[in-house]
Amino acid sequence: MDDLTFEARPGHVTALLGAPGSGKTAALRLMLELDSGRGVTYFRGRPMHRIPHPAREVGVLLGDVPGHPARTARGQLRMLCAVAGVPVARADELLELVGLAGLCDQRIGALSLGMDRRLALASALLGDPHTLVLDDPTEGLAPREGSWLHGLLQAHAARGGTVLYSTADPKEAARAADRVVTIDGGRLVADQDGGDFSRTRLRRRVAVRTPHAARLAAVVSREARVARRSVEVVTETGGRLAVYGSTCAEIGDTAFRHGLPVHQLADEIGDTGPTVPGNSPRDSTDPGASGSPADPADPACPTDPESAGPAGQDSGAGAGDPRPVTRASAPESALPIRRRSARGPLQPLRYELRRLFGVRTTTLIMAVVLVVSVGLSVLLARNAHAPLPKVLAAWPSLLPLPPVAVGAGLLGALSFGDEFRYPALAAGRGTVPRRLGLLLAKLVVSAGVAVVLALAVVLVSAETLRLVYGHDWLHVPPNSVSLGVSWVALTVGCAWAGLLAAGVFRVTTAGVAAVLAVPVLVVPLVQLVLTGPGVRPVAGLPVRLRELMWPRWPHETDRWIALAVGVVAHPVGTALALSLSVLVCAYLLTGLQGRARWRSQRAAGSSQAS
């Protein structure tokens, strides 16, 4: 970007026009503070980082929908409702608005390009924003889909909203936008009203294809000079000519009189290209012909101040701000733009529940764990000497962990792994927000799922064993409370280990590896330490803690403390506690590193600005 300043007014559709590589996407990302740079963008008088709830002020469409392909369209919008903090009924309203009510249960991965763009637009409209910022929303769409989308944008502008979208098609900009801002190489070329843009940038022409293009161009140019008519002939590749200032009938008659074959003859709306002063977008075959784009007298070469655009202004774009961004009115436009981390959902618990159960993967994993556990329990019960807790937990000695612990760890790993793979919270940023509320919601939901899964395995296994072998040998062990606490602690600890490892290393496989590493690597190390020579037992710890505490707790608390200490003192419990402690520290450390990096960039930018 180089001194790019423009204004997108409320109640208007503004098109940011430019060829591929001209800087359209870069400008939009700077406006949304997704990339670092310099400048300022006002959304109704406030920069992006000062808007409390951006989703309710600015609706963004950058690329495709960043959703899990197995999630339904309705499930995706309901999940994003929790992000924006709006009622869930808003999802059905927008599905009706964008014409996806009949496809609400369709998977995102099965949607066509047009349907995907409709869903992306519905996602941008969830918070009922005032401003829409869309990056090439009609790319790859059929004309009918494009017309529908532009109609929706015009309707949003008619309600007083601001619409800014980028495009590389001048005809589309002239047809759908109230104002067209043309950029080239990151610089402002023209800022025009839609009518002025159509008159100065788009010109009617006759497209001709002939094997004798050079001869026909010379003949047409010579006859135009003789008749003193303003005709421009532009030679294109592939034996094509573009003739401005003439008609199909005149070109056809000229070719017939001189015996030149014509393979194509049609009227078109020609794009003269971004008109930069002193630069002609085309090379005419007749340099002396009047009406050349390089000729200042030609209406295709805008010379008025409005069409030429403001010059000498600071970088920035005012979207919805009634005042243009200039040095005089906004000196802070020279401040650096710092790339900011993505915001967490406004309703993190609802978001995590809808994210977890919005795909069939969660239900499938739970069903597989339940079936495998019951099958192992039936097989273990055939051995009359197998301990009952091992049978109910479906934990044979050959396995490092029971299936329920592995399943809980996998669900925990997917909790963060899917965030990085399908970043619904961080579209365009490449990272997931490390908000405390989001982390707590994931910990609570993963723990709840792990507890439900652990209890379901025990209860279903017990009923299955009673049905298969009878109920004579089933009994409640005397230490059932401690066994139950240990069982729940094991599954919850595995779920949290997978969650935190996936959050640190940003991939699901890292979470699963961390869960499996507990019995394979950490437990042998803990056993080696606990069984070494000179190791003292922790018996009597509750009594010694009771002597140090004030006020005195009831004697029943001693039993619970002893139970907790016994769980942690077990090699698996110690290994899990150690692993979770390391993962929590790593998670906090990576978060602090991100904050330190952001502060250093902020300090560097402030010193440059001063």
Query: d(Cα 204, Cα 232) in Å, to the nearest integer?
Result: 11
State whether CATH 2.30.29 applies to domain 199-308: no
Architecture of domain 5-187+310-337: 3-Layer(aba) Sandwich (3.40)
pLDDT value, residue 545: 53
Q: How many Å is the Cα radius of gyration of the chain?
A: 34
Structure tokens at 585: 């520290």
CB 316 within 8 A of CB 333: yes
| Residue limits of CATH 3.30.70 in the chain | 199-308
Q: CB burial class (10 A; 0-12, 13-18, 19+) of residue 281? A: middle
Beta-carbon contacts of 64 under 8 Å, excluding residues fewer than 6 positions away, are 116, 120
pLDDT along the chain (610 residues), means of 10: 90 94 93 88 91 92 85 95 94 94 92 91 94 92 91 95 95 92 92 86 86 93 90 87 89 93 86 53 35 33 34 36 34 66 88 94 96 94 85 89 95 93 76 86 97 95 89 75 86 95 93 90 72 57 55 56 58 80 88 64 51
pLDDT value, residue 486: 86
Whose structure tokens read 């299936």? 403
Residues paired with 204 in a beta bridge: 269
Alpha helix locations (H) across 422-570? 436-469, 480-505, 508-517, 523-530, 541-548, 555-569
Instruction: State the SS3 of 571-584.
Output: HHHHHHHHHHHHHH
Beta-carbon contacts of 8 under 8 Å, excluding residues fewer than 6 positions away, are 14, 131, 162, 163, 164, 179, 181, 317, 318, 319, 320
Query: d(Cα 381, Cα 379) in Å, to the nearest integer?
Result: 5
Whose structure tokens read 């075959």? 285
Structure tokens at 473: 């040998």
313: number of CA atoms within 13 Å, CB side? 20
CB 307 within 8 A of CB 30: no
132: number of CA atoms within 13 Å, CB side? 33
What is the secondary structure of 431-443 as a DSSP string? S----HHHHHHHH
| Residue limits of CATH 3.40.50.300 in the chain | 5-187+310-337
pLDDT value, residue 78: 95
State which amino acid sits at residue 423: P
